Amino acid sequence: MTKLKSGADLVLYVDDQGRKQPLLATWLYGLGRAAAFPFDPAQPEAGGWAAWPGYAKLWSQLVRWAIREEAPWETRQAVRFRDGSPFLEVQTFDDIGEGDIQAQIFTGAEHSVSLSLTPVAPRIYRAPLPPLAAGKYALLLTRHAGDRVLGQKRDVLTVDAASDEPGSAELARKLPDLELLREIADDTDGAVNPSIDELLARHGTSRAVLHGLDWLLLPLALLLLLGDMALRMRLEA
Domain at 100, CATH number: 2.60.40.10
Rounded Cα distance, 177 and 83, in Å: 13
Residue-range definition of the domain harbouring residue 59: 9-66
Contact 8, 41 (CB under 8 A): no
- β-bridge partners, 126: 89, 118
- 146: in domain: yes
- What is the number of residues in the chain? 237
- β-bridge partners, 105: 113, 139
Q: Give pLDDT tens digits along the chain (237 positions).
A: 788 888 889 998 888 888 888 989 998 776 578 899 887 777 777 777 778 888 889 889 999 888 866 556 678 888 888 877 889 999 887 766 667 889 999 988 778 899 999 888 888 899 999 888 888 888 999 888 777 887 788 888 888 876 544 444 555 556 678 888 889 988 888 888 888 888 777 666 677 888 888 889 999 999 999 999 989 888 887
Task: State which amino acid sits at residue 123.
Answer: R
- 173: in domain: no
- Give the global pTM: 0.41
Instruction: Look up residue 81 and give its DSSP letter.
Output: E
- 18: in domain: yes
Residue 122 and residue 62 share a domain:
no
- β-bridge partners, 149: 144
Residue 155 sits at φ, ψ, to 5 deg, of: -155, 180
Residue 149 and residue 85 share a domain:
yes
Rounded Cα distance, 160 and 146, in Å: 33
- 225: in domain: no
Q: What is the pLDDT of residues 179-228, one digit of tens each?
A: 888 899 888 888 888 888 887 776 666 778 888 888 899 999 999 999 99
- β-bridge partners, 136: 158
